[in-house]
Amino acid sequence: MTTNKLVPTFEEAVADIPDGAIIMIGNFAGPGGTPYYLISALQKQGAKNLTIVANTAGGTGLTLDYEDHKILFENRQVKKVIATFPFSTSPSRPSPAEKQILAGEVELELVPQGTLAERIRCGAAGIPAFYTPTGYGTVVAKGKEVKWFDDRPCLLERAIKADYALVRAYKADNMGNLVYRGTQRQFNPIMAMNARITIAEVDEIVEVGDIDPEAVVTAGIFVNRIVKIKEDPGFPRHLERSFRVRKG
């Protein structure tokens, strides 16, 4: 055993994140797959002028009113957000990010979701840019090179590279191999592969060798720090139950 990536507390795991860092955060529509405890520790840590790369800018109101990276905006730690779904679906309950974006206090780069995913994947894969048809003829095309392939106009999109990724997984071993649960997976694996430092919060830590190598989603080399969640997040979640179902 040459590596032990376990970090005892969330506070220690995020302690070195500097002002101005580019941070990817796993996130979709709901609390599943959002590394809330790492986000919360980052809020306490207080790093400023952050660039956040995430599907939403937090507090979009799609489901339960849950805590997420909206607390980083509330705490005025963000200068820029790269997101696909930054605004609340409920006009009467605007998100903290929304108010700051409209006031010109936070810069928004609004990106189609597939383009965001591929920019993250390409950043991880050493591909600096790629062409995609999505966005041609819309506001997304503004300022971008257009090239035609097979009779289809495409936009040149640049990869994104992050300093840190905060990801949520279900299970880890000490080497950092990760397994996810259900739709918790979403952006987490591609963000884990992208960042210079990837920090994972997980429900369970098992011995090296206890995760089936065929089942590993994120290879351990991509994960630098692992923190175990000590308490139940308090949302409906059935860890004892597999999603495996059989006919009849």
Partner 1 sequence: MKERLSREVIAMRVAKELFDGAVVNLGIGIPTLVSSFIPEGIAVIYHTENGALGFGSVVTSEEFEEKADIDLVNASGQYVTPLPGMCFFHHADSFLMIRGGHIDITVLGVIEVSEKGDLANWMFPGRGVGNIGGGMDLAFNAKRVICTTEHTTKDGRPKIVKQCSVPLTAPECVDLIVTDIAVIKVTKNGLLLQEIAPGWSAEDVQQLTEPELTVASDLKEIEL
Interface ranges with partner 1 (CB under 8 A): 28-33, 60, 62-63, 84-87, 89, 91, 98, 101-102, 110-115, 117-118, 120-121, 132-140, 170, 180-190, 217, 233, 235-238, 241, 243-247
Q: How far is the CB of 18 from partner 1 (least distance, A)?
A: 27
What residues contact residue 115 under an 8 Å CB cut-off, 6+ apart? 132, 134, 135, 140, 157
Q: How far is the CB of 182 from partner 1 (least distance, A)?
A: 4
Q: How far is the CB of 138 from partner 1 (least distance, A)?
A: 5
11 or 67, CB closer to partner 1? 67
Q: How far is the CB of 64 from partner 1 (least distance, A)?
A: 8
**What size, in residues, is the chain?**
248
42 or 101, CB closer to partner 1? 101
102 or 221, CB closer to partner 1? 102
Q: How many Cα atoms are found within 13 Å in the side-chain-facing hemisphere of 139? A: 4
7 or 192, CB closer to partner 1? 192
Q: How far is the CB of 116 from partner 1 (least distance, A)?
A: 8
CA separation for the pair 27, 127 (Å, rounded): 24
17 or 186, CB closer to partner 1? 186
Residue 175 contacts residue 43 (beta carbons within 8 Å) = no
39 or 120, CB closer to partner 1? 120
176 or 189, CB closer to partner 1? 189
Q: How far is the CB of 41 from partner 1 (least distance, A)?
A: 20
Q: How far is the CB of 28 from partner 1 (least distance, A)?
A: 5
Q: Which amino acid is at 109?
A: E
Residue 72 contacts residue 39 (beta carbons within 8 Å) = yes
